[in-house]
Every structure is written in C-alpha cells, then in structure tokens.
Amino acid sequence: MFADLYTKAAELASQGRPFAIATVVRVEGSSSARRGSKALIDPRGKLLVGWVGGGCAESAVRSEALLCMETEKPRLITVDMSDEALGVGMPCGGTMDIFIEPVLPKPELLIVGHGRIAETLAVLGDVMGFTITVNDPGAERSAFPQAERLVTDDFDLTETPIGPKSFVVIATQHKRDHLWLKKALAGNAAYVALIASRHRAALVLDYLRAEGVGEEKIATVYAPAGLHLGASTPEEIALSVISQMVALRRGGEQTLNRHDAYTDAVIRQCEADVRP
C-alpha cells in the first residue's frame, strides 16, 4: 500500500496538484488503524489512497486535511474513538494522534518588467520557493536564469493568467503598468505590488477608479511596494518587496506597512537604468 501511496504522491506533485498526507503517529487502545498508517487526501476532501481508520475517523481526517491545505500549515489532531457522544461517533475505544501535512505547489511570482529590481526579485523569489514568471518585451533569458517562464510577446496580456495564488509585482517603469494592475486585481491575486514613484502610483490608482474599480480593491494594492526598510538601491527595493510577500504569506506583523518604501529619487534612477 505504501508503494501505491508514494507513487500517487509523486504523480500529484509532478502535476503541481495540492494534496495532504495524513500519518497515524500514536494509537492508544483499540483502533482499526496502526501507527504509521498513511493516507492521501485531495483538495475536495477525497481520500485517494491509504488508510487511517474507517467511518468518522476518516471523516475527521478529511475535514482537517482541507483546513491544512487552506492555511498551508500542518496539524496534529487527536481522534477520540472512546466516546460516541463527545468523540467522533465510533465507540470502539481508543484514541489516535494523526499528523496531517499539506503538500502544495509553489506559489507563482509574476514579475512584470525588466531591469535590476526585476532581476533581483527573480533571484530572491527563487530562493524563497516561488516559481518565477517574467513578462516583458525587454526581458532576456541571460538576465533571468531562474524564470520558469519568460514571456516577451504578450501585447494583449493573455499569456500569463493571474489567479488567487499569484503574487504579482509590476515594475514596468510606466509601460502599461495601469493595464497590468487592472488585470492583477481582476484575477484576485494574492499580492499586487506596484513599483513606482508616489506621483506615478497616484495616477495609476486614479485610472483604476475611473475604470470603475472599487476602493476596496484599490486598497489591496501595495504602492509603494515593499516594507519600509529605507531602501536606496534596486537590490534593497527588491528585498523589501520579497520581505513583504513573505510576511503576507506567513502572517507577519508588517504585512500592512504601507509607508514609503523608497524615495522618488531611487525610482528615477531605476527608470534610467532600464531605458534602452
């Protein structure tokens, strides 16, 4: 059974599909499962392969597995099978501790733009466990060796879908940044950041308002992007943005820090660096 389980796990992982692994780590008293028993659960709560106990014990594990996948955090649960009223409805005696671990595909970091900020974002994003997609006509493979996808011909913005698991950083230096920002918000991206001067950011956000985008959506945009580290170089700006992304994913206290992350002078220098 374990061979089938590991084969299925490898198949799901190779396809980039999320799942959870449940493992019985302690058994006390009577139980139909044994310590070390395992099962795979998919995002619909279906037990794909394996065994961690039948009936309501399985139901409890499936429910907790869904929570693990949603929160991206493992859980250790205790299933009480000794009390039909207060436990899981299986008066067969005994308890089990079950460790449930989510196995999730890497989140995507979509970098729109090229230049030193974008290049450093790709490096740091790769180290932090993101899959990297770069979209920009001026992007070259030699500058983005970490990118899983490099899109240089996407004039109608259709080659890079954006969804709730996408982290989007727009660093186009004014080139269609308003269109990308609208697309990212329409896709309900997990994180949307605009690297621009305060003046440019205000113009872009006003454009969104004129296009009918609600204030609630606009309020989710990080502009200026990044935590307030006092960044003064492109590399430091990229670090502040990646730090903000990690804080958002992990529930850090600085996720809502929207102070100026850099000065307009720094942005002007970055813009000069990427002009042809």
Angle, CA of 130, 175 and 228, to the nearest 5°: 55
pLDDT beyond 90 at 25: yes
Burial group, residue 102, by CB count within 10 angstroms (0-12, 13-18, 19+)? buried
Instruction: Give the torsion sign (CA, 66, 70, 74, 76).
Output: negative
Asked if the model's pLDDT at residue 233 lies above 70, the reply is yes
Beta pairing partners, 24: 98
Distance of alpha carbon 108 from alpha carbon 41, whole angstroms = 23
Q: Is the pLDDT of residue 56 over 70?
A: no
Among the residues of the chain, which ranges form H helices?
Answer: 2-14, 55-71, 116-127, 177-186, 198-210, 215-218, 234-250, 264-274
Task: Give pLDDT, residue 82.
Answer: 67
What CATH superfamily is the domain 108-274?
A: NAD(P)-binding Rossmann-like Domain (3.40.50.720)
What lies within 8 Å, CB to CB, of 113 at 6+ separation is: 136, 169, 170, 171, 172, 173, 175, 195, 274
Chain segment 98-131, per-residue pLDDT in tens: 999 999 999 999 999 999 999 999 999 999 999 9
Could you give the CA distance from residue 72 to residue 107 in angstroms, rounded to a whole number? 11
Exposure on the CB side of residue 7, measured as CA atoms within 13 A: 5
**CA 117 to chain CA mean position, Å:** 20
Whether the CB-CB separation of 173 and 114 falls below 8 Å is answered with no
Q: What is the mean pLDDT of the chain?
A: 86
Decide: helix, strand or coil at residue 54: coil
Per-residue pLDDT band at 214 (split at 50, 70, 90): very high
Alpha-carbon distance of 269 to 110, in angstroms, equals 23
Between CA 23 and CA 99 the distance in angstroms is: 5
Would you report the helix, strand and coil content of the chain in percent, each value rounded to 5?
35, 20, 40
Mean pLDDT (whole number) for 7-27: 93
Angstrom distance (rounded) from CA 62 to CA 60: 5
pLDDT above 90 coverage of the chain, percent: 60
The rounded distance, in Å, linking the Cα atoms of 193 and 179 is: 13
pLDDT digits (tens, 9 = 90+) for 238-273: 999 999 999 998 877 554 445 455 555 555 555 555
pTM: 0.78
Identify the DSSP state of 93. Answer: -
- Looking at residue 11, its pLDDT comes to 94
Q: Where are the domains of the chain?
A: 2-103, 108-274
Q: What is the pLDDT of residue 196?
A: 86
Q: What is the pLDDT of residue 86?
A: 41
State the pLDDT at residue 53: 79
